[in-house]
Amino acid sequence: MLKKEKIFIFLSTAGLRFYSCRPELNASIHFANGDLKHQEITDIKKYSLGLASIIKKLPPADLILLIADEFIYHKSLSSVLQAQFSEEKEAFLTMIPFDEAKIAYTHTVTTNSNEIIAVNKDLYEPILSIAKQEKKKIKHIVPLSLIHRDGDSEPTYELLDKNYSRDLFKKYDLSSAKNGIPRVVKITEQQEANNLKKDNPISTRLVAEFVIFFLALGVLFYTVFQQKKAARTIVLNNITARAPSTAPKVTSIPQPTVAHKRLEELSVQILNGSVLAGQAARLKEVLIKMGLTEIETGNFQTSDMKDIHMTFSNDLSPSDHALLLVELETVFPELSINDTATTAADFDVTIVIGNKSVL
């Protein structure tokens, strides 16, 4: 049986690039200034005409659409409990900065975690419509990083074809992605009690018997406790009458309150302490995708920092420290933090990037 020809279509902010084993089919559609805004095609008519002229020339083949990582929102969730996983998934999808109706996501179970991959479906739906109109079918829609992880080099047909894996593509395929944000339905204690009564008719009698038993037990313990308390009071009164207390009066000292903030509310300063230029700006782009908006960048006073140094405002909750560290681990796979500190500062968090932890 002959192997069916494959044609890869790569979608990035630069435009569309076609990769085929036939050189005459390798073509490009470049986005002009303003053609792509906020991950949406602004001029669908112009875009469709250019795309249709190329797709209609394609021979019968498996068309595979590769989405650039700059359009992909990815999150690894380690929760095992279904309720907790559903809440984390809802929180992640809610942070994606476009309308809920435009979100398309797929859920993949790996060895160590659950992975959620999301994208703005308005990016690729015009491609699907035009392909269908020209009687062509898009077989898979997947992130480019599945088969080409080196973002600094241009992919080639030979490389894409070599790394192609049908099973892997099925696992991460966005063709059958779910739309919108799944809302977690929280059941109240009263609802759970009502459900229990419906499922088990004899549960009411058993619950009543348990309640009576524990009430009786509670009354017994309370009576014994009161008797001991009365006896102890008599003893203490006798001691007090003989020896008046000279203990100093203790005044409680009010403790400072610590603010709790959501991830997107944090103000962050990023300083590049490495020899590689542009690190602060690149990390800023990543944090913006996470939902943060108040970010300032700059260079550290030296460029010989080894690991990441982080400073948290002493007004920030420790739980917020951990939340940001978890997010940074997705950016730096081998996160190496040399030092963390808390101090009074103009920013909630200051991050100094070192030479061992560059992007």
Residue 152's pLDDT is: 63
Q: Which residue has the higher pLDDT, 82 or 304?
A: 304
Domain boundaries of the chain, sorted by first residue: 6-76+99-179, 263-357
Mutual orientation of helices 125-133 and 44-55 as an angle, nearest 10°? 50
Domain boundaries 263-357, corresponding CATH code: 3.30.70
Residue 99's pLDDT is: 83
Q: Which residue has the higher pLDDT, 228 or 240?
A: 228
Q: Which residues contact 107 (CB under 8 A, 6 or more apart)?
A: 89, 114, 115, 116, 178
Residue 196's pLDDT is: 47
Pairing of strands 62-67, 138-143: parallel
| HSE, side-chain direction, 13 A CA sphere, residue 63 | 25
- List the one residue out of 279, 353, 359 whose CA is nearest residue 309: 353
**pLDDT of residue 324 exceeding 70:** yes
Percent of the chain with pLDDT over 70: 76
Residue 18's pLDDT is: 92
Residue 230's pLDDT is: 67
Beta bridge partners of 337: 308
pLDDT, tens digit, 9 for 90 and up, residues 157-188 = 998 888 888 888 888 888 777 876 766 555 44
* Confidence bin at 234 (pLDDT 50/70/90): low
The sign of the dihedral angle between the CA atoms of 280, 281, 283, 288 is positive
CB 118 within 8 A of CB 105: yes
Q: What is the rounded distance in angstroms from the CA atom of residue 33 to the CA atom of residue 182?
A: 35
* Confidence bin at 239 (pLDDT 50/70/90): very low
Q: What is the rounded distance in angstroms from the CA atom of residue 227 to the CA atom of residue 76?
A: 57
CB 316 within 8 A of CB 261: yes
Residue 186's pLDDT is: 52
The DSSP annotation for 221-274 comes to HHHHHHHHHHHHHHHHHHHHHHS---PPPP-PPPPPP-B---GGG-EEEEEE-S
Q: What is the rounded distance in angstroms from the CA atom of residue 184 to the CA atom of residue 186?
A: 6
Range picked from 17-26, 41-50, 72-81, 145-154 for highest mean pLDDT = 17-26
**Residue 347 three-state SS:** coil
Q: Which helix (H) or strand (E) holds 55?
A: helix 44-55
**Residue 341 three-state SS:** strand
Query: Please, what is the average pLDDT of the chain?
Result: 78
CATH 3.30.420 fits 6-76+99-179, yes or no: yes
